[in-house]
Amino acid sequence: MQDPSEKSESTLTATSETVSGTLSAGTLYIVATPIGNLKDITYRAVETLEKVDWIAAEDTRHTSKLLQALGMHRPLISLHDHNEQARMGQLLEKLKQGETGALVSDAGTPLINDPGFHMVKLLRQEGINVVPIPGPSAVITALCAAGLPTNRFSYEGFLPAKAQKRINVLTELKDDTRTLVFYESPHRLMDTLPALLEVFGANRQMSVGRELTKTYEQFVSGSVEEVLAYFTAHSDKVRGEFVLMVMGAVLEEDVDITDYDALMQSMLKQGLPVKQISEIIADYTGEKKKPIYNRVQQLKDLV
């Protein structure tokens, strides 16, 4: 993070314009919207949506309802996965002509598992100003109340729909020590939870956030096995949108081979060969045979 005292004059000017509510011509604003509770929208988001010339929305019908609830009307332009490539040239020209626009997704912070990446990349390449208006995000909302480590986490989005691909992705993540965060839909939750059980085991801790910020918000926490059992027994709860958070792997520290010196010396006194002793200790500790063999040999030479 840059030291505030080191900000350039132009940066300070842009910041003051944004804070004062004056929109900069030819700028696209990336506006976060509520993920459930309408009261979570920020003053700055409302002010921006009121003043832009147009709003690019993932689903114009959904955004129309949001604007109606906020008591405002703005021109809407659809921008979704299937038309982003074709649409972004049109929006680029509008911005070059000095218009101001906003980009919103159906809920939460745009571009987080939502359309807009190609658009923002193009605007950056063309020197167009892109300003984020921060706000709700399901990932952060879920993590802060999950009771899992948040100093390091990895957002993995939606897992593959096909069973084997889902298992393959989870297998790659099995030994990751970061908290893992996934989005899931209700019709696939009961496929994903068994897959987590298969790959991560019954005892890995996890938490599931459901219907975040809405009336029936719920967190279900425990081992993977316990969470699966809960949703299996409560099929009426398998509805809404889900954020699945899985605790990272806890890697066991390497065993200090010298802790077994007394045992190795006892075996040597009984006349067991160095190779056999190293194999027995390796089987017992799970450590590699070579360093154990070398240690047994050292002990033998000391006798």
* pLDDT score recorded for residue 15: 40
| CA–CA separation, 65 and 38 (whole Å) | 11
Q: Residue 108 has what DSSP assignment? A: B
| CA–CA separation, 191 and 246 (whole Å) | 16
Q: What's the CA dihedral at 133, 134, 136, 139 to 10 degrees?
A: 130
Tens digit of pLDDT for each residue in 27-43? 999 999 999 999 999 99
CATH topology of domain 139-246: 3.30.950
Tens digit of pLDDT for each residue in 54-110? 999 999 999 999 999 999 999 999 999 999 999 999 999 999 999 999 999 999 999
CATH topology of domain 24-136: Cobalt-precorrin-4 Transmethylase; domain 1 (3.40.1010)
CB-side exposure of 58: number of CA atoms within 13 Å? 21
Q: Residue 29 has what DSSP assignment? A: E
Tens digit of pLDDT for each residue in 189-211? 999 999 999 999 999 999 999 99
- Residue ranges of domains in the chain: 24-136, 139-246, 257-302
pLDDT above 70 coverage of the chain, percent: 91
Instruction: Flag whether pLDDT at 16 surpasses 90.
Output: no
Residue 34's CB: how many other CB atoms inside 10 A?
19
Instruction: Flag whether pLDDT at 180 surpasses 90.
Output: yes
Decide which of 15 and 221 is more confident. 221
Token code pair at residue 217? 């918000």
Question: Strand pairing partners for 75?
Answer: none
Whole-angstrom CA distances from 19 to 9, 28, 44, 137 are 15, 16, 8, 21
Nearest residue to 213 via CA among 268, 261, 145? 145
| CA–CA separation, 62 and 79 (whole Å) | 13
